[in-house]
Structure 1
Amino acid sequence: MTKSTTSSHAQLFKRRQILAGTAAGAAALAMPGFMGRARAEGPLKVAAIYTVPVEQQWVSRIHKAANAAAARGDIEYVFSENTSNNDYERVMREYSEAGHDLIIGEVFAVEDAARQVAADYPETAYLMGSSFLPKDDVPNFAVFDNYIQDASYLSGIIAGAMTKTNNMGMVGGFPIPEVNRLMHAFMAGVKETAPETKFQVAFIGSWFDPPKAKETAFAQIDGGADILYAERFGVSDAAKEKGVLAIGNVIDTQADYPETVVASALWHFEPTLDHAIEMVKAGTFKAENYGVYSFMKEGGCSLAPLGTFEGKVPEAAMKLVKEREAAIKDGSFVVEINDEEPKSN
């Protein structure tokens, strides 16, 4: 193990988002199950509730996976976007009353209300983005999270090989575990190829405010950053305007910024959703932590193709990326999960 690993899985998973790892990755933390309503043959009725537009990075990956499941006939899919926190419970109850088999969404700011809704509709399955673990008293409420630290770490290796100033800017939404762990993994990757790098870290206090993210990124460029970690929309626009490079997060924007975005860590929600669909159809859905299905070895994340930067990243760095990727997939290398707020240095 190197400094970017821990001595054991037990050390990694001591935080509130702990996962119970298995060789197959399929036995996430299991709680008492529920049988749910009797289901007819055919596609499941699935509804999603999003607090931001479906174009937003994180939500777009959930939306993409749901559309794929609908296209192959596994589900019937409806969704609500831009749902305010104050309105979330009402929308969740309406979908529950309408008889949907599975309701998905993200409840980071409405945790208590969402769990109460699930308790009131014990025959409905809920799969929600959350910073907390499932609980015994709500056996139909499973949680997921974007554990894509593996891909973030690999993107950091590339960023470290491309910096000339050893100064990088990082712009995030909020300093919550879902963001913090990806930033830390990226920083660990950078230090593999540019150990003296300094990081400027800032949070804009919003999940969708491209102008604010752009202005924050401008300030970091003025502070000497020649590569920006684009956790939010707007950062890559600043990088493009100022002629510096950017690293993408969750989605691949290389085609939109062909001279700017060098690499991106991609989240694939399909393994998470597909497992939930399978469990609901089988009548065995239960309160599990689905975070494990975002791991690279489960197909839940990957490094995006380099596109126009193919052949421009130093060969030694790409060799290290391939070695680490193989080791991550076979379990011989584990990227640290650090949920603490990252700081500038």
Structure 2
Amino acid sequence: MSVRYPRPMLRRCLLIAASAAAALALAACGKKDDAPAGAASAPQAGGAASGAAPLKVAFAYVGPVGDGGWTFAHDNARKKLEQTFGSRIQTSFVEKVPEAADAERVFRDLVQQGNTLVFGTTFGYMAPMLKVAADSPQVRFEHATGYKQAANLRSYDARTYEGAYMAGVVAGAMTKTGTLGVVGSIPIPEVIRNINSFTLGAQSSNPKVTVKVVWVNEWFNPPQETNAAQTLINAGADVLMQNTDSSAVLQTAEKNGKYAFGWDSDMSSYGPKAHLGSAVIDWSPYYIASVQAALDGSWSAGPGKHSWWGVKEGAIDLVSLNAAVPAEVKARVDQVKAGLKDGSFVIWKGPIAGQDGKEVLARDKVADDAFLQNIRFYVKGVEGQVPAGK
């Protein structure tokens, strides 16, 4: 389970696309108190039966589509849906929807606009989505990173820790100081799991590495991310990873002549020299499967209807490796990737010790999803303490 926390909603712009026969779209922008707005794309040619109404699919985003990370990845997948299904679907989105009471109004507006498949892309939408779903049984709802389901609402997630582990494999081989740094967002199991997996990957290349963490307590705050990255560099970290949504960490590494990784999306263009690789999420396989099921009538929800996809399903990857990464390290990443895909390699397999040296996973024991979704400790090698109260 992963979690998203609120950011202010500065604007919403909605482009309402007409049917395949129409040639005009209307752009509307409003303030926070207006009807939700975003950008919707007109259906592409081909695919729908003549005269058939397209399936209206809507997305609610917690961040701006231009964040270069989390929301950017979701919106790229939305665009892939349009390419895949053409005029059989009509998509729209609302960006910067806060994880607050206003989210319920946004979801009700999306239902009123005739959308019959609605994706909410952050954990904080869970309560409002459940409420709106109960009042809108004719609509299908999909909740990213959640753990509660309903008769017409199911949940989905990505195994971001797999990307973090592969990044760690590279980081452990590339560090000269033996000190790695992570800019953490919110100290919740998702993020702690990623920090630990990054550490385990790094230790597989260099057992002596240590990892420092600086928390910014937000998902998207470039100035704070910059300050955190600089703090880690000043403390001796020469390779940085982040679990935040902007490119600020990578850009800070570039300015300081250090290395870093992109997160959620390919960030190589933001700091070409510093960029070792990007741990990316590709939401399109899941979104395509979901829309196809809605179109052919096989979509279903209910208790236990949760999907958690990773390398195996094509949802997680480590891409755009720097030319400076040695061939043998790239080969190791490929080996891990292949093992995750066919099930022959498991990241969280004992023996694994906690920060205090006590065993958290016995030898040869494999962590199940319940264990992974409730990690609230650091593994051995991570410095500092997990912030309390999360």
TM-score bracket, normalised by the shorter chain, equals 0.7 to 0.9
Which residue of 108, 117, 120 corresponds with 1:93?
108
Structure 2 residues without counterparts, runs of 5 or longer: 4-50, 349-368, 384-390
Cα shift readout 1:277-336 (whole Å, capped 9, x = no counterpart): 0121122322264533x3111111111022xx22x2223322222222221111111223
- How far apart are residue 180 of structure 1 and its match? 2.8
Q: How does 1:173-212 map to 2 (within 5 A)?
A: 173-212=185-224
Which residue of 243, 249, 257 corresponds with 1:231?
243
Query: 1:54/1:149 Cα in 2 relative to 1: closer, same or farther (>3 Å)?
Result: same
Question: TM-score with structure 2 length normalisation?
Answer: 0.73
Q: How does 1:68-147 map to 2 (within 5 A)?
A: 68-72=80-84, 73=86, 74-84=88-98, 85-134=100-149, 138-147=150-159
1:298 paired with 2:313, answer: yes
Which residue of 279, 291, 296 corresponds with 1:282?
296
Task: Give the Cα–Cα distance (whole angstroms) in 1 for the partners of residues 102 and 281 of structure 2.
Answer: 27
Structure 1 residue aligned with 2:225 = 213
- How far apart are residue 150 of structure 1 and its match? 2.3
SS in 2 for 1:158: helix
- Tell me which structure has the larger Cα radius of gyration: 2
The code of the aligned residue for 1:59 comes to T
Question: TM-score with structure 1 length normalisation?
Answer: 0.82
8 Å Cα contact 2:101-2:128 kept in structure 1: no
Cα shift readout 1:93-118 (whole Å, capped 9, x = no counterpart): 01112221111123422422220111
Task: Give the Cα–Cα distance (whole angstroms) in 1 for the partners of residues 242 and 199 of structure 2.
Answer: 13
Which one scores higher on RCO, CA 8 angstroms, separation ≥ 6?
1
Which residue of 290, 314, 338 corresponds with 1:326?
338
The code of the aligned residue for 1:239 comes to A
Moved >4 Å (runs of 4+): none
Structure 2 residue aligned with 1:49 = 60
- How far apart are residue 78 of structure 1 and its match? 0.9
- Considering only aligned residues, what root-mean-square deviation do their CA atoms show, in Å? 2.1
8 Å Cα contact 1:147-1:178 kept in structure 2: no
The code of the aligned residue for 1:244 comes to K
8 Å Cα contact 1:146-1:178 kept in structure 2: no
Structure 1 residues without counterparts, runs of 5 or longer: 1-14, 18-39
Task: Give the Cα–Cα distance (whole angstroms) in 1 for the partners of residues 2 and 211 of structure 2.
Answer: 27
8 Å Cα contact 1:50-1:82 kept in structure 2: yes
Structure 1 residue aligned with 2:387 = none
Structure 1 residue aligned with 2:171 = 159
Query: 1:150/1:142 Cα in 2 relative to 1: closer, same or farther (>3 Å)?
Result: same
Task: Give the Cα–Cα distance (whole angstroms) in 2 for the partners of residues 342 and 171 of structure 1.
Answer: 17
The code of the aligned residue for 1:245 comes to Y
Structure 1 residue aligned with 2:347 = 335
The code of the aligned residue for 1:45 comes to K
Query: 1:201/1:128 Cα in 2 relative to 1: closer, same or farther (>3 Å)?
Result: same
Q: How does 1:1-20 map to 2 (within 5 A)?
A: none
SS in 1 for 2:101: helix
Cα shift readout 1:170-194 (whole Å, capped 9, x = no counterpart): 0121122332332222211111101
8 Å Cα contact 2:2-2:123 kept in structure 1: no
8 Å Cα contact 2:2-2:145 kept in structure 1: no
Task: Give the Cα–Cα distance (whole angstroms) in 1 for the partners of residues 79 and 331 of structure 2.
Answer: 35
Task: Give the Cα–Cα distance (whole angstroms) in 1 for the partners of residues 292 and 60 of structure 2.
Answer: 21
8 Å Cα contact 2:177-2:236 kept in structure 1: yes
Query: 1:342/1:211 Cα in 2 relative to 1: closer, same or farther (>3 Å)?
Result: farther
Structure 1 residue aligned with 2:38 = none
Task: Give the Cα–Cα distance (whole angstroms) in 2 for the partners of residues 290 and 299 of structure 1.
Answer: 17
The number of residues matched between the two structures is 302
Structure 2 residue aligned with 1:260 = 274
SS in 2 for 1:200: strand
Deviates more, 1:209-218 or 1:227-236: 227-236
Task: Give the Cα–Cα distance (whole angstroms) in 1 for the partners of residues 279 and 154 of structure 2.
Answer: 25
